[in-house]
A and B are shown apart, each in its own frame.
Chain A
C-alpha cells in the first residue's frame, strides 16, 4: 500500500479479513518511506501559538501528513458506518445532549449526591480547585503511602494539570499503561489526540523512540516486535508499582460510582494492580443516573473509533479488599467556563475525538501543531478558556465548515463557538494589530460604494484590492500555492450598466 493515496481508501470497502472494530484500521495503512517526524508548535513563553507555522511543517513531511489524514479519515468512515447501523442515532445524540445540559445546570446537586454516595461506598472524595491543588492532593496521598512508582492510564485532565512533569520533579516515577500514551511519554511529547495519542507518528518513529529509550533494534519497525518489546520492558514496572491512577469517562451520581472505558484494558491494570487506586475526574463528567449511562456508552466508541463499544467498560464501585480508592474531583476552570453564556456547552464534551477525526485542518496539521492540551475543533473552543492570549490564534485555525458540529455525539455547536471566540478575541484586543487594521479598512471601503467602485475600477486595481481586503494579506500569499484568478474584461457592474441601461436598481 506504500503508494496509496488517502483517497483510494474511500473506494475500498472494509476487507473481511481485517479486524474491523476497536482501534484497528479498516484497510491496511503503511508507509515504507523513512521520514523525520515533524514536531509540534513552537512554545515561546506566553506568546500566541502559531498553529499555521507548525501545520506547514507537518505538511512538509508528506508521509506523515498522508498517513495521519488516511488513518483519521478511516476512523471517520468507520464512525459513519456505525451511525448507519443505529436507526435512532440522531435521537441518541439529542438525548445525550439533554442529559448533559441537565447535569451541567444542576452540577452542584449531582456532585454532592455523587460525593455522599461514593463515601458510602467507601471511596475517599477530594476536591481540587485547580491543577496545583490536584497535583498536591495526589502527591500527599502518594507520600502517605510511601509510593515511589505510580502507574497511570490515559487522562486528558492530568495533561491539563502538567501532572507527569510535576511528579518527576517530586521524585515519583510515573509509568503510562496505554501503549500510545507510553510511546508519547518515552518521546517526551504530549498526546496529539484525545483517543489515539500517538496517531501522528509512523511506525518508524516509534521504532526510533523505542531504540533510544528501550534499546530495541532501530531498523525493526514491525508492530508485533515493537509492541512485545514495550510490553516486556514495561510489565515489570507495572507489576510492582505501589499506586495506580486513572481518569474517568463518566461519574454516576445516584450510585456514587465511576466508569472508565479503554480498549487495551490498561485502566484495569492501573486500577487493580496496586492497592492504592486514585481517579482524577473533571467535575463535568457527572451524569445523574445509571440508566443515563447506556446512552453515552452507545455513542462514545462509535463516535470515537467506529467500534460499537470499547473493549473494556469498567465500573468502579469502591476500594478493593484491603485497598484504598480515592477520587479527586477537579474544577480547573470548569466553573468559570460554566458561567460563559456562549461557551458553557463545551462542557458537554465526552472526549471522543470525533471532531478531530473529521476536521480537515486537524488531519493535515497534526494535534501537536495546536500547542495546547486540547487540539482540533474542541480544543479551539476550550483552550482560550485556559489562556486567552496564548491561544488567541487557535480559533482561526478552522474553515468554519461545521463538520465537527455534525459528528459531535453531544451536539456541541463547535463551529459556531469557534466563530464566537473570534468575536470575543477581537473585542478584547487579542487580534494581531495588522489584522484588525485591515478589517477596519475593509469595513470602510465596503460601506462606501463610491470608494469601493474606484478600488475595483480596473482589472489591475481589483486584483490588487480585492484579495487584499477580502483576505487581508498580500496577493503573493494567495499566489504561494495557487494561481491568481484571471483579470476580468469588465465587472458585472459595468456589464449591467451597458446591457440593462434602463434597469432602475430600485424596488418599486
Chain B
C-alpha cells in the first residue's frame, strides 16, 4: 500500500511537528509513505472566497503530485473536505476523480481503512477536550451531529479512547463552530474572535488541560484566542497523541 502524505501549508509552516507525527504514526503501521516534494496547498483558500478560477492551477498541481498513490492521507479534515467534496475548479479527469476519492483525513484513515484497534505506545495522562472541525464533523462525518437525530458515534473519540490515561471532558456546546472559518477569521475578525473566546472559555470551564483536534487551523485560531485571554489551555493535534506524545 503506497501512501502519499499531504501536509497542508499551515502545518508545513507553523506546526511541522504535526506532519512529523502523522508520518511516524503511519510508518508505525508498516506503511510505505512518501511525501511529494512539490506539494503546496489544496486550493481551499481561493475557493472558500468564491475564487474558483484562481484555485484551478493549485488544484491541478495537487492532483499532479498525488496521482498514482493508493491513498492520500492528511492530518486536516478541512483540507481533505475540500479535496473530496469541493475540488471542482480543475477539469474532472479520471486522475482528478481518483485522487479525490482516495484522499483521506488521518482519523478516518486510521478508523475506517486501517481499522486500528490499539496504540500500545500511546499514553496521555491528561484531561482533554475534543474539538471537531466543522468540515470534518458535518462534511466528512467524523462524528454524529447534535442537530440531527442519529445514533451517537465519534471516530476521533474512538481512537483516543485507546490511549492510556487520557480523560475526556465535555464542553457545553460541542458542535459550535470556533469561528476560524478560513478567510472568515480576517474578514469578520470581530465575530471570529468572539466565537473563539467563547469556545476557549467553554473548554476551560469544562476543566480541559488540552484541546485536541484533527485540525490545526481551528487550533491555531483557538490558541491565539486563549493566549490573548491568558488562559493556561494547551493545544495538541490528535496525530501527536496517537503517535505517543506524552504532553
Bound CA–CA A500/B148 (angstroms): 45
Taking the complex as formed, is A102 at the interface, i.e. its CB lies under 8 A from any CB of chain B? no
Cross-chain contact of B179 among A399, A421, A470, A479 (Cβ < 8 A): A399
Whether the Cβ atoms of B145 and A406 lie closer than 8 Å is yes
Would you give the 0/1 interface string for A1-24, flagging 1 where the beta carbon is closer than 8 Å to chain B?
Answer: 000011101110000000000000
Cross-chain contact of A360 among B56, B176, B187 (Cβ < 8 A): B176
Bound CA–CA A405/B225 (angstroms): 27
> Which residues of B have CB within 8 Å of A452?
9, 40-41
Taking the complex as formed, is B164 at the interface, i.e. its CB lies under 8 A from any CB of chain A? no
> Which residues of A have CB within 8 Å of B50?
395, 419, 421-427, 431
Bound CA–CA A9/B180 (angstroms): 24
Bound CA–CA A69/B4 (angstroms): 43
Taking the complex as formed, is A493 at the interface, i.e. its CB lies under 8 A from any CB of chain B? yes
Whether the Cβ atoms of B187 and A52 lie closer than 8 Å is yes
Whether the Cβ atoms of A456 and B13 lie closer than 8 Å is yes
Secondary structure of the B contact surface, majority rule = helix
Whether the Cβ atoms of B12 and A456 lie closer than 8 Å is yes
Whether the Cβ atoms of B13 and A449 lie closer than 8 Å is no
Q: 8 Å CB contacts to A: which residues of B27-45?
A: 34-41, 43, 45
> Which residues of A have CB within 8 Å of B172?
7, 9-11
A159 to chain B, nearest CB (A): 24
A488 to chain B, nearest CB (A): 5
> How many residues on the B side are at the interface (Cβ–Cβ under 8 A)?
88
Known: A7-B205, A80-B147. A471 touches B54 (CB 8 A): no
Secondary structure of the A contact surface, majority rule = helix
Interface residues on A, range: 35 or more
- B residues apposed to A, CB below 8 Å: 2, 4, 7, 9-16, 19-20, 23, 34-41, 43, 45-58, 60-61, 67-69, 86, 134-135, 138-139, 145-150, 172-173, 175-177, 179-198, 201-202, 205, 220-221, 223-225, 227-228
Could you give 20 example pairs across A and B, Cβ below 8 Å?
A52-B188, A56-B191, A360-B195, A397-B191, A401-B177, A406-B145, A427-B53, A431-B50, A443-B46, A443-B58, A447-B58, A447-B61, A449-B38, A449-B39, A462-B13, A481-B196, A482-B193, A485-B14, A495-B19, A499-B20
- A residues apposed to B, CB below 8 Å: 5-7, 9-11, 51-52, 55-56, 59, 65, 69, 73, 80, 83-84, 86-87, 89-90, 358, 360-361, 364-365, 395-403, 405-407, 419, 421-427, 431, 435-436, 439-440, 442-447, 449, 452, 456, 462, 466-467, 469-473, 477-486, 488, 490-496, 499-500, 503-508
